[in-house]
Amino acid sequence: MLFKLSLKNIRKSFKDYAIYFFTLILGVAIFYVFNAIGSQTVLLNVTSSTREIIDLMVNMLSGVSVFVSVILGFLIIYASRFLMKRRNKEFGIYLTLGMSKGKISKILLLETLIIGIISLVIGLVVGVGASQLMSVLVANSFEADLTRFTFVFSSSALSKTIIYFGIMYILVMIFNVINVGRCKLIDLIYTNRKNEEVKMKNPIICVIVFIIAVGLLSYAYYLVTAGVEILVDTTDIFIPIILGCVSTFFIFWSLSGLILRIVMSFKTLYYKGLNSFVLRQISSKVNTMVLSMTVICLMLFVTICVFSSSLSIKNSMTANLVELAPVDVELSKTRNISEDYAYETGYSEVLRQDSYRSIGSSLELVDFDVNDYFKDITTVYIYASNDFTFLDTLGEEIANIETDYPFLTYHAPEEVMKLSDYNKVARLYGNTEYTLDSDEYLIIADFESMTEVRNRALKTHPSINIFGVTLNPKYDECQDGIVRISNNHINSGIIVVPDYVVSETYLEREILLANYKADTDQGKQAIEEVLIAIENHPNSGDINISASTKISIYEASVGLGAMVTFIGLYLGIIFLISSAAILALKELSESTDNKERYGMLRKIGTDEGMINKALFKQIAIFFSVPLLLAIIHSVFGIEFCKYILMTFGDEEMTKSITMTAIFLIIIYGGYFLITYYCSKNIIKDK
């Protein structure tokens, strides 16, 4: 009997609370999809370095899944709370008819178990299907060969999903039993007749709290934008985070007491149509959901920033490769190491002696001839002296820059390059070549934050004394350019001077740039493997050469970009679904509780069109309030993300923000529309 009653209750609730079931199914499917990536990537035909990155991503996704399961667990418990509230009158009737609380608890246990099993089964079916599409996405992200693609079912993802969601449903069952045990018959019977009290808070206190909250929030915005240099230590970032969370809470708290009073002062607007009804409904909800609104707003904020930043990193890293890795290989070694420097840094005598050989000579010791494998070979040199540091380039701006940027290393030796050497690199890369008079210098840089600092100094036309020669700047700002290949903007500044200024005494580093003598990807990969094999040569320990290749940079860029994207998508989707689902469930619960109020509107002559319009306004405002504040937060949050990620470049940020907006409209807007149509069905006069 109890089982039949449970099935009947589920069938009766399914239509009105489709969002609850939809969210459970979606949560299960997403959880399975992201945990099945490890099984899918086994079939991908990728290099060993890419495989290591994929394994790292899978391990990180497993760790993130624990956090995701906690979020989904709270969401399910939160949803159950509203579903329980809707059925208070039903439980009251059961008690009146003589049913014990124990039997009611059993009904709830059966219902939760059945709902859990149905959601889990459907979610897993959807997840298994979606994971095949994810396989294609993973392969495209890592640019892998799909010739070995086949249908994949992940038993590990299945078991993990069942275990995690099983624990969640057990907690929900316990929660429901406790709630039933605490309920009183009179409260259950008359719950729908109780009007939720709209507390009219003291408007003066609300205004004061609102002004303080806005002030704190403005200061938090300042810290992550114009005042970001104040955040010297890593732990300082918690200051704007805490200020943002606290101020968000008090903004919602104060607005819940101000909105109704403000609108009531505009009589024409307040009494137009059903605005008075809508506004009182909204005020009541915001008044009782201050903490929930705060959490939802912050989750939406994190979603927007995570989506935008993760997509931007992937797009920027891919776009940077053409510009920042224009040749196939870069070999570099420290030159002319002194005995004192070797003692301080731990260089062995063998490696110190090797520093007096050229890169080509050192490679001969490991049976590698650069002329056999490389073409377009260009060798350039970097010079440095402890007597010429970053501080010596700042001129009259020293005091101001030291005050504004206290964390910079001012006594680090500057890198100096001959004009002819830089022009050789520029010619190889297809970049701008320069000319200098005998008393001029210029600075090449592409790391944005350091470029800004150097430009402040260059505006004052500072003279520098380098290796005993005084030079003046040719330009009043840094010129864009690179020497070493990379996947992001890391050139914080190279001083380019006339050739005669440089003394070989100060030679610090030799750099060899070249392309492979191969026209096909397979041929280039073969040369790459020869380079890697040098590590296994018996004499490899006698040389000290670092290598960067376009292939390795490309694989690292693609791998890191894909890893960040998948983790960002995982967290972003869960946060977005959780936020939208909480709002939807709250609205559906309110629609059920207020069904009699909509019935009263019909009795006084209100037509269905006005009622539906009022319902649409109410839900739209309810969904918009946390989203609008989250968007404002995101404007400043994304600026901070751009500062943190400036080495990757922000050229692709606009595209990423656009994609995030589209994604937000589809999911958040979809929940809004489903909520509206389900609520309209609930309040319908049947």
Q: Could you report the per-residue pLDDT of 507-524, keeping only the tens digit for each? A: 999 999 999 998 887 888
Of 194, 228, 254, the domain-final residue: 194
Is the confidence at residue 48, as pLDDT, over 70?
Answer: no
CA distance linking residue 477 with residue 680, whole number of Å: 62
3-class SS shares of the chain: helix, strand, coil, % to 5: 70, 10, 20
Domain range for 177: 1-194
pLDDT band at 495 (very low <50, low <70, confident <90, very high): very high
Q: Is residue 568 part of a domain?
A: no
Could you give the percent of the chain with pLDDT greater than 70?
76
> 30-41, pLDDT tens digit by residue?
888 878 776 665
Structural domains counted in the chain: 2
Alpha-carbon distance of 44 to 152, in angstroms, equals: 12
User: Residue 651 and residue 634: Cα distance in Å, rounded?
Assistant: 18
Contact predicate 414/392, CB 8 Å: yes
Residue 622 has pLDDT above 60, yes or no: yes
Residue 199 is predicted with a pLDDT of 54
Of 536, 557, 578, the one marking the end of a domain is: 536
Per-residue pLDDT band for 116 (boundaries 50, 70, 90) equals confident
The Cα–Cα gap between 367 and 370 comes to 10
Report if residue 349 sits inside a domain: no
Q: What is the pLDDT of residues 349-385, one digit of tens each?
A: 888 888 888 888 888 888 888 888 899 999 999 999 8
Q: Which two tokens stand for residue 684?
A: 């319908």
Residue 192 confidence (pLDDT) above 60: no
* pLDDT at residue 234 greater than cutoff 60: yes
Q: Is 518 inside any structural domain?
A: yes
Q: What does the pLDDT average to over 101-118? A: 72
Averaged pLDDT, 164-192 = 67
**Higher local confidence (pLDDT), 263 or 404:** 404
What mean pLDDT do residues 282-309 have?
A: 81
Upper half-sphere CA count for residue 73 (Cβ side, 13 Å): 19
d(Cα 455, Cα 473) in Å, to the nearest integer? 11
Domain presence at residue 373: yes
User: How sure is the predictor about 2, in pLDDT bands with cuts at 50, 70 and 90?
Assistant: low
Q: Which amino acid is at 383?
A: Y
Provide the token pair at 324. Answer: 């920042």
Q: Which residue, 424, 464, 431, 428, is CA-closest to 446?
A: 431
Residue 165 lies in a domain: yes
pLDDT digits (tens, 9 = 90+) for 592-607: 777 777 777 777 777 7
Give the residue-averaged pLDDT of 198-217. 80
222: pLDDT strictly greater than 90: no
In a domain, 389, yes or no: yes
Q: Is the dihedral of CA 218, 221, 225, 229 positive or negative?
A: positive
What mean pLDDT, rounded, does the chain reach?
79
Phi, psi of 510 (to 5 degrees): -110, 135
Could you tell me the two tokens for 560? 């890191």
Does 85 score more than 70 pLDDT?
A: no
pLDDT at residue 190 is higher than 60:
no
Task: Identify the pLDDT of residue 381.
Answer: 94
At residue 9 the predicted structure's pLDDT band, cuts being 50, 70 and 90, is low
Return d(Cα 66, Cα 64) in angstroms, integer. Answer: 5
DSSP string, 495-540: EEE-GGG--GGGEEEEEEEEEES-SSHHHHHHHHHHHHHGGGSTTG
Q: Is 577 among the domain residues?
A: no
More confident residue, 303 or 653: 303
Q: What is the mean pLDDT of residues 461-487?
A: 90
Structure tokens at 61: 């996704």
Higher pLDDT, 293 or 140: 293
* Domain end among 536, 571, 586: 536
Most confident of 9-13, 79-83, 538-542, 604-608: 538-542
Q: Which residues contact 141 (CB under 8 A, 6 or more apart)?
A: 314, 558, 561, 562, 565, 566
The SS3 call for residue 100 is coil
